[in-house]
Amino acid sequence: MAAAKAASAQAQKLRAELERHNHQYYVLDQPLISDAEYDRLFRELQQLESAHPELASPDSPTRRVGGAPLPQFEPFRHRTPMLSLSNAFTEDELAAFDKRVSEGLKTSQVEYLAEPKFDGLAISLTYVRGLFTQGATRGDGYTGEDVTPNLRTIKSIPLRLKAAAVPALIEVRGEVLMYRRDFDRMNQRQRENGEKEFVNPRNAAAGSLRQLDSRITAKRPLRFFAYAIGAIDGAAAPATHAELENWLEALGLPVCAERRVVLGAQGLMQYYRAMGARRAELPYEIDGVVYKVNSLAGQERLGFVARAPRFAIAHKFPAEEAMTEVLAIEVQVGRTGALTPVARLKPVFVGGVTVTNATLHNLDQVRAKDVRAGDTVIVRRAGDVIPEVVRVLPEKRSPAALAFQMPGKCPECGSKVERLESEAVYRCTGGLFCPAQRKQALLHFASRRAMDIEGLGEKLVEQLVDAGMVHTPADLYDRSRLNAARLAALERMAEKSAANVIAAIDSSKQAPLARFIFALGIYHVGEEVAKILARHFGSLDRLLAADWDGLIAEKERVQKENARRRNKDETLLTPVLHGVGPEIIQSIANFLRQPHNRDVIRQLRASGAVDETRVRPSAKSGGTLEGKTFVLTGTLPNLSREQAKELIEAQGGKVSGSVSAKTDYVVAGAEAGSKLARAQELGIAVLDEAGLQQLLKES
């Protein structure tokens, strides 16, 4: 009994001692003992906990070494959104921000909390009764990835808050990053071991935190700084953001020492210039500074706009620039067929990264900057992220340098390249055949509003394309090419799941003409345009045989005639294909004129993918649903959402995606969510499927 008590007391003493040294080293940057002495204390605690398993504690420093690899990260829904900040790049933009805040708070001078903008990875930490229980990445602001095991390995993150009185729950927001010196040492070890070096501290930190094996993360020198909170329960937040960060520091969390309280736009600029002058001497990378209204009550009054708070802004430093040479200008074909000229550069180190490529955006940009192969140029990492060519140094140009020309044919598939009058982008018309567009074309074809092939998601499409099993949507229906046995041989597939996918593909056959047209992925042809085309032509034969040039000429003639009639207050003509403009018709023509697109359509037709007799009738006028707006939510017992939409639109109604005061009916099925609650708040009529059917019958 006495031995157990002594072991427990010694374990508590060692834990406290090790956490104190972690805080001194990783937070205060003031180590009190050597690394060897720290290792000795750590091993002693490990041996004690091994000999006495009952002493194991979730907040022990030994829990930071990492555990077995995870199969994947679980999603984590943030209690309050982790929104990104709007950016300011100039003094005028900063002054405009200060003016908006001053007017919003009805004061002549606003007090702000200013601090560096870390170049790391935003995370949240959840503490329950002082104990660290869960941590996650920011993700899309609403849902991140649960990386708790990896965060436990970061020694500057306390596993237990050190204050005597702690909230029942507190969600701490902050940044994981890597100090420059730690990054350099890590890369030196990589070189000595003959392993690949990391590009910059930010990428190294982000990659380390997203390791499936937390033992790898434990070997990386990551650090953490807290700067805000999300949810809090069981305690009142301080009155100002400065006091909040002081409180976080008192709880044992590392907080940046460079934070300052400043007044008005002048104080913001003074802080910005001071941090810019000290940027190179800071131990970590920053790409600007962040300003937040200091009053937390003021923050709440200002609220949010879109995906960013009104009370805060990031003031970015000018992007770093460097001089290099354009070795060549090549063209990349994107997933949607857009052709983008890219400058291949002589490697140059800029903004902490070795840059070898820079986007030239489009032909207009290339001509405006007059970039040519062989030119000497200034390159900048715009926003410290995307490399771009800022300007050419014409005095260094060779007389033999030729102006860039966009190719007339797609470099990937040889299809004709077209440019619509309203766009700056050139596009490949190869659609269903182009290798660069293959994955995107298949994903769109299989999407819910197109052919609705359940189970054919992004990962499976990537495997099918990479393995050469599927080249066009028509291959999905070719059982000599794609069958359950071949599918089951793919990674993470089994016989049952493979059979389910094949069954889903087969059940997608006999799609209505409008769905089929939409599934082809013709640029500018959305669901509504596809419906108009299906109603107008009524069959694929008529669609494929259409005189597109004649239609464009007719559309333009009616437009001119209607312009004349408007001036004379005369009755307007109804144009052919009402709702489909000349540019959309031109896009359709470009697509259908490509022989390989027509070949794929022919193959799809032969496989039974489309039922041309299923053409949605034109919407009725004069019915009781004309002018009425519906919102569909939940799962109906006998109708799919798309079927319900078709029935409503056929009777003149309109289906919207969101509930507002202009909504007339909400059709609610099983597991209806926030839309139903919103309808009840607004007093909007709510129908079940039977009610909808009765309304349709009456109409």
> Which residues are tagged catalytic?
117
Q: Tell the residue number behind the tokens 């032969």, with chain if given.
A: 606
List Cα–Cα distances, 436 to 33, 196, 562, in angstroms. 57, 29, 42
Q: Take residue 657 and report the two structure tokens written for it.
A: 């995606």
* CA pair distance 252, 229, nearest whole angstrom: 14
Amino acid making up residue 184: D
* CA pair distance 503, 241, nearest whole angstrom: 57
Q: What angle do CA 60, 63, 66 make, to 5 degrees?
A: 165
HSE-up of residue 646 (Cα within 13 Å, Cβ side): 15
Q: Exposed, middle or buried, 300 (CB in 10 Å: 0-12/13-18/19+)?
A: exposed
DSSP H/E element including 248: helix 241-250
Residue 76's beta-bridge partner residues? Answer: 144
Amino acid making up residue 643: Q
Q: Name the phi and psi angles at 669, rounded to 5.
A: -110, -160
Among the listed residues 232, 305, 363, 272, the one whose alpha carbon sits nearest the alpha carbon of residue 85: 305
Q: What is the dihedral of CA 670, 674, 676, 682, to 10 degrees?
A: 180
CA 193 to chain centre: 35
Q: Take residue 315 and report the two structure tokens written for it.
A: 């003031």
* CA pair distance 411, 295, nearest whole angstrom: 57
* CA pair distance 123, 117, nearest whole angstrom: 14
Tell me the Cα Rg of the chain: 31
Maximum separation of any 2 CA atoms in the chain, in Å: 105
- Between helix 689-698 and helix 641-650 the angle, nearest 10°, is 20
Q: Take residue 327 and report the two structure tokens written for it.
A: 């070795």
HSE-up of residue 587 (Cα within 13 Å, Cβ side): 23
Q: What is the dihedral of CA 644, 646, 650, 655, to 10 degrees?
A: 70
DSSP H/E element including 560: helix 548-567
Q: Take residue 515 and report the two structure tokens written for it.
A: 């769905």
